[in-house]
Amino acid sequence: MTTSAVSYRPLAGMFWMFAAGLSFVVMTALVKSLGTTMSPIQAAFIRYALGLVFLLPALRSILSTHLTSRHLTLFGLRGIIHAFAVMLWFYAMTQIPLAEVTAMNYMTPVYVTLGAALFLGEPLAFRRIAAILVALVGVAIILRPGIREVSTGHLAMLGTALMLSGSYLLAKLLVRDIPPSVVVAHLSIWVTLALIPFAIAVWQTPTLRDIWVLFLVACFATAGHYFMTLALQAAPVAVTQPVTFLQLIWATLLGALVFHESVDIWVVAGGTLILSAVSFIAWREAVLNRSSLTTPSIAPKL
C-alpha cells in the first residue's frame, strides 16, 4: 500500500500499528485463557461465526458485487486453506507459550515473499533471499531442534504461517477484480462454512463464559485489522512494521505474568531476527518504490 506525501503521517501510522499490535496480543491472550476446556476446532468455528455480525455494515457491498465462477472457486479455496490455518493456530495456543506463537507467526510474510516469487512471478533479488535466510535462522533459534523437543504446537504454528501465506496470496489475486473490503468479508463467510463439518465432529455445548470470551476474540481481531488499516493509510509498511516488535514483548510479559510461562530469551532473539528480516524487505521495496510487489505485512489474520 502506498501513501501519498499529503497523507504521510509517520507518528499516526506508528500509533495505529501500536494499537493494532495491542489488540492482537489481547486476542491471543483471550484464546489462551480458554485453556483446554473446548476443542480448538470448535473454538475457531464459534469465533468466526460470532464475527459474522461485523459484516452487517458491508452487506450491501457483498450482495451487489458481481462474482464469476473463478472468484467463487478462489474464495472457496481460500476459505478452506484459512480454516485449516485457524484450527492449527487455536491448537498451537493450547500447546506452546504466547511468546512462541507470536514469534513464529512472524514467518507468515516470509512465506508470502517466497510464494509471490514462485506463483506470482515476482522477482526474488539477492537481498530478499538473504533476508529470508536470516528469518530461517530465527526459526532455528526458536525451535532449537536437537537441543529441546519440538512439540506438535511448534509444528502447528509452522503450518499456520504457511497456510496464512497461501490465503494472503489468494487474496492478492482476488483484490485485482474485487474491492478489498468485500474480499475480507467473504473470508469470514467462507471460513465459517469450511469449519462447520469439523466443528460438528467435536461439538460440545459451550459455556456462556466460553462464548463471551470468543466474542471478545472476534472484537479484538476486528479492531486489530481496522487499526492496521489506519496505520497503513497513514504511513508505509516500512515505517509501521518495526512497531510490531512490541507484540513479542507484550506476549512475553503476558505469558509470564498471567499464564506463568517462563521467559525464553532465545524465543525473543529468534523473533527479533525474523521481524528484522521482514522489516528489511519492506524497507527495500519502499526505497526502490516497487509498489507492484507483494510487500510483507505482519498480522495474525485470524
Task: Answer whether residue 179 is part of any domain.
Answer: yes
Residue 144 grid coordinates: 532449537
Nine cell digits for residue 15:
500509533
Parent domain of 186 = 12-288
Residue 292: pLDDT band (50, 70, 90) is: low
* Tens of pLDDT, residues 194-239: 999 999 999 999 999 999 999 999 999 989 888 888 887 787 776 7
Please name the residue ranges forming H helices in 96-148: 98-105, 108-119, 126-143
Answer whether residue 300 is part of any domain: no
**How high is the pLDDT of residue 271?**
92
pLDDT of residue 74: 95
pTM: 0.87
> What pLDDT is attached to residue 291?
55
Q: Read off the pLDDT band of 7 (50, 70, 90).
A: low
Per-residue model confidence (pLDDT) at position 2: 44
Residue 3 located in a structural domain? no
Give yes or no for residue 290 having a pLDDT over 80.
no
Residues 125-179 pLDDT 10s: 888 889 889 999 999 999 998 888 899 999 999 999 999 999 989 988 898 888 8
Domain count for the chain = 1
Q: Is residue 181 part of a domain?
A: yes
Instruction: Tell me how far apart the alpha carbons of residues 170 and 166 are, in angstroms, rounded to a whole number.
Output: 6
Percentage, residues of the chain above pLDDT 90: 51
Q: For residue 296, tell me if it sits in a domain.
A: no
> What number is the average pLDDT over the span 4-24?
80
Least confident of 71-75, 219-223, 257-261, 283-287: 283-287
Residue 67: CA count within 13 A, CB half-sphere: 19
Contacts 24+ apart (CB under 8 A), 67-73: 67/178, 71/174, 71/177, 71/178
Does some domain include residue 4? no
The verdict on residue 5 lying in a domain is no
pLDDT band for position 5 (cuts 50, 70, 90) = very low
The whole-number pLDDT of residue 218 equals: 92
DSSP track, 188-218: HHHHHHHHHHHHHHH--PPPHHHHHHHHHHH
Indicate whether 302 belongs to any domain.
no
- Quick one: pLDDT at residue 6? 43
